[in-house]
């Protein structure tokens, strides 16, 4: 089993809903984004168009971040999810440097001390968030494909990618239904069929990291 | 194209790495420098059997290299995990810091035993071997990052190793000048000149080589990196500190030694060696500061 995601750029409307949902789901501090939108222009005048690219951790199977991690904090689970064990991370940031997609964030003291309302006391929601999602200062964080939802869903007999309760928040939220989640190892899963039919490609395969996130391009 | 640093230019234009050079990242820049300088000094001093300089090298490596490494970490108290994680097989930080620790233990033991006159040549050779690994470690740690083409070249470990030895020779010369022990100085000066010429040669090959790699399909971020170093924002640092003080000034002293043979005052020689070390430090800064990631767009 290898969990993966397809993002259909022909459907994506660039609403940043996935970015905001991810922040809310994981109670991320200000300035920390596990999912991001890259908006740029491609082509040369007068043939120019805007390109919006939602990015997240690619959960690579040849992950540079996992190889360079000196403490074993970054590991690839059996289901292909690349996770960070915050209790093991020493905060050397070698993984952050090694990621060609730049999808990792270091939680500095400054980042962790900031609340959403400037110098005011953290709100009840923010306090609760820190309890539910105990991020640690001085460690590196990144998208985990909402593995808590996946693990709890599977325990309940649900299917990730099919049942909302077991599916990553960004996939559930996508108003344009541009994101599909599922098992890349199952040739009959929706995601595998979509990759074959629409010739979905990973982001910059030349890096040789074997990503689990695929893009359907224009 | 200038280096994109504005938030909306993130991974749309060439994006610089910041974690290992900005703010606390400066500590890692210093950590790599002191680690190599200290280990290089230890090796050079051991060849010339100079216990005091070996100790200075050991101290620079332990306090400067090790200390800055520790201060840089987000969770320094978990440092021991590097040794027990079993990631030696794939992580250069794990390998490098293991080499450094073994070097510090062997080198420290050798120095203690040598004080009592009971150390052996084999212990010193073992310490030197691990010191050599420590000298080369930063070059390999950076070279492994395929996402940054400025670093991802086999010349980088060679360059860092040469810098480590060259710095080591400089510190050894400085110590001998300070102690007035001039007997072995001519030999060290010759080696210092050899490493100076090697450094100049490798820097030219390195910058030209990676610049023209871009023309053969390699990630084009490297073109911008080299341009930033040579004619861009960091050009004054490169031309003044690295080229003038780090290369040309020591080269002028070397040419004087080879040709005219004018006596160089000790103070001037010490100043040249100090500037040489600052040139080394500045070059490392240029390499870390101008390391760029290629944009994600266009796909």
Q: How many cross-chain Cβ pairs, A to B, lie less than 8 Å apart?
A: 129
| pLDDT one digit per residue (tens) for chain B, 299 residues | 445 567 777 788 889 999 999 989 999 999 999 999 999 999 999 998 889 999 999 999 999 999 999 999 999 999 999 999 889 999 999 999 999 999 999 999 999 999 888 878 999 999 999 999 999 999 999 999 999 999 998 899 999 999 999 999 999 999 988 888 777 778 888 888 899 999 999 999 998 888 777 666 656 788 889 989 999 999 999 999 999 999 999 999 888 888 887 777 888 889 999 999 999 999 999 999 999 998 888 76
User: Is position B207 within any domain?
Assistant: yes
User: Is position B222 within any domain?
Assistant: yes
- Taking contacts as CB-CB distances below 8 angstroms, the residues of chain B near A111 are none
**Inter-chain touch A92–B87, beta carbons under 8 Å:** no
Residue B4 phi, psi (nearest 5): -80, 120
Which among A39, A88, A97 is the nearest to B19, CB-wise?
A97
**Inter-chain touch B73–A92, beta carbons under 8 Å:** yes
- pTM listed for this prediction: 0.92
Cα–Cα distance between A1 and A145 in angstroms, integer? Answer: 14
Which among B24, B76, B147 is the nearest to A100, CB-wise?
B147
- Taking contacts as CB-CB distances below 8 angstroms, the residues of chain A near B144 are 68, 98
**pLDDT for B1:** 44
What are residue A216's DSSP bridge partners?
A8
Q: How far is CA A160 from CA A14, A93, A128, A147, A213, in A?
A: 24, 31, 26, 10, 15
The interface residues of chain A toward chain B in range 72-111, judged by CB-CB distance below 8 A, are: 72-73, 88-94, 96-102, 106-108
**Inter-chain touch A55–B82, beta carbons under 8 Å:** no
Tell the burial category of B268 from Cβ atoms under 10 Å away from its Cβ (0-12, 13-18, 19+).
Answer: exposed
**Inter-chain touch A71–B78, beta carbons under 8 Å:** yes
Q: Report yes or no: A187 at the B interface, CB cutoff 8 Å.
A: no
Dihedral angle computed from the Cα positions of residues B88, B90, B94 and B100, in that order, rounded to the nearest 10 degrees: 80
Domain of B56, CATH number, reads 1.20.1630.10
User: Is position B4 within any domain?
Assistant: no
- Taking contacts as CB-CB distances below 8 angstroms, the residues of chain A near B147 are 64, 97-100, 207
Domain coordinates in residue numbering, chain A: 3-216
Q: Report yes or no: A207 at the B interface, CB cutoff 8 Å.
A: yes
User: Is position B95 within any domain?
Assistant: yes
Q: Which domain range does residue B76 map to?
A: 15-293
Nearest-by-CA chain B residue for A217:
B299
In chain B, which residue ranges form alpha helices assigned H by DSSP? 26-47, 51-59, 67-72, 81-84, 92-115, 121-143, 155-179, 185-213, 221-230, 235-236, 249-258, 266-289
- Taking contacts as CB-CB distances below 8 angstroms, the residues of chain A near B298 are 40, 42, 51
Write the ipTM: 0.90
User: What is the CATH architecture of A3-216?
Assistant: 2-Layer Sandwich (3.30)
- Taking contacts as CB-CB distances below 8 angstroms, the residues of chain A near B15 are 102
Which among B15, B20, B78 is the nearest to A90, CB-wise?
B78
Q: Report yes or no: A33 at the B interface, CB cutoff 8 Å.
A: no
Which among B20, B82, B90 is the nearest to A71, CB-wise?
B82
User: Is position B208 within any domain?
Assistant: yes
Helices B266-289 & B155-179 angle (0-180, nearest 10) = 150
| DSSP sequence for A45-81 | TTEEEEEEEEE-----TT-HHHHH-SSS-EEE-TTS-
């Amino acid at each position: 089993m290898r969990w993966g995601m397809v993002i259909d750029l022909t459907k994506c409307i660039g609403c940043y809903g996935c970015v905001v949902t991810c922040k809310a789901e994981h109670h991320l501090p200000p300035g920390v984004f596990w999912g991001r939108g890259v908006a740029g222009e491609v082509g040369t005048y007068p043939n120019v168009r805007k390109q919006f690219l939602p990015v997240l951790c690619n959960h690579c199977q040849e992950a540079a971040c996992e190889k360079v991690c000196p403490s074993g904090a970054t590991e690839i689970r059996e289901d292909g999810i690349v996770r960070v064990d915050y209790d093991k991370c020493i905060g050397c940031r070698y993984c952050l440097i090694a990621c060609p997609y730049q999808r990792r964030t270091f939680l500095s003291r400054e980042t962790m001390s900031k609340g959403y309302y400037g110098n005011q006391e953290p709100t009840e929601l923010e306090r609760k968030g820190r309890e539910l999602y105990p991020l640690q200062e001085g460690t590196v964080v990144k998208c985990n494909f909402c593995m808590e939802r996946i693990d709890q869903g599977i325990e309940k007999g649900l299917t990730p990618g099919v049942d909302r309760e077991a599916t990553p928040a960004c996939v559930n939220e996508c108003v344009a239904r541009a994101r599909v989640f599922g098992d890349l190892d199952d040739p009959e899963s929706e995601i595998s069929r979509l990759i074959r039919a629409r010739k979905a490609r990973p982001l910059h395969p030349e890096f040789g990291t074997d990503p689990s996130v695929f893009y359907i391009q224009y | 194209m200038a280096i994109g640093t504005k938030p909306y230019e993130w991974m749309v234009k060439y994006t610089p790495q910041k974690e290992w050079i900005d703010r606390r990242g400066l500590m890692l820049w210093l950590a790599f420098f002191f680690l190599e300088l200290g280990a290089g000094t230890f090796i050079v001093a051991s060849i010339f059997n100079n216990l005091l300089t070996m100790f200075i090298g050991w101290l620079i490596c332990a306090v400067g290299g090790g200390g800055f490494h520790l201060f840089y970490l987000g969770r320094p108290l978990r440092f021991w995990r590097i040794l027990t994680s079993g990631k030696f097989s794939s992580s250069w930080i794990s390998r490098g810091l293991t080499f450094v620790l073994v070097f510090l233990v062997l080198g420290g033991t050798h120095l203690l035993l040598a004080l009592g006159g009971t150390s052996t040549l084999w212990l010193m050779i073992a310490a030197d071997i691990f010191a050599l690994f420590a000298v080369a470690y930063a070059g390999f740690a950076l070279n492994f990052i395929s996402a940054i083409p400025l670093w991802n070249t086999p010349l980088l470990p060679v360059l860092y190793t040469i810098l480590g030895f060259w710095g080591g020779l400089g510190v050894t010369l400085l110590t001998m000048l300070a102690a007035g022990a001039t007997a072995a100085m001519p030999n060290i000066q010759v080696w210092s000149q050899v490493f100076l010429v090697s450094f100049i040669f490798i820097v030219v090959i390195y910058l030209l080589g990676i610049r023209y790699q871009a023309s053969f399909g390699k990630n084009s971020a490297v073109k911008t990196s080299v341009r930033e170093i040579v004619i861009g924002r960091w050009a004054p640092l490169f031309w003044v500190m690295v080229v003038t003080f780090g290369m040309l000034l020591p080269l002028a002293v070397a040419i004087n030694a080879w040709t005219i043979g004018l006596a160089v005052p000790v103070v001037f020689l010490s100043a040249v060696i100090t500037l040489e070390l600052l040139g080394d430090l500045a070059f490392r800064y240029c390499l870390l500061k101008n390391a760029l990631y290629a944009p994600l767009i266009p796909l």
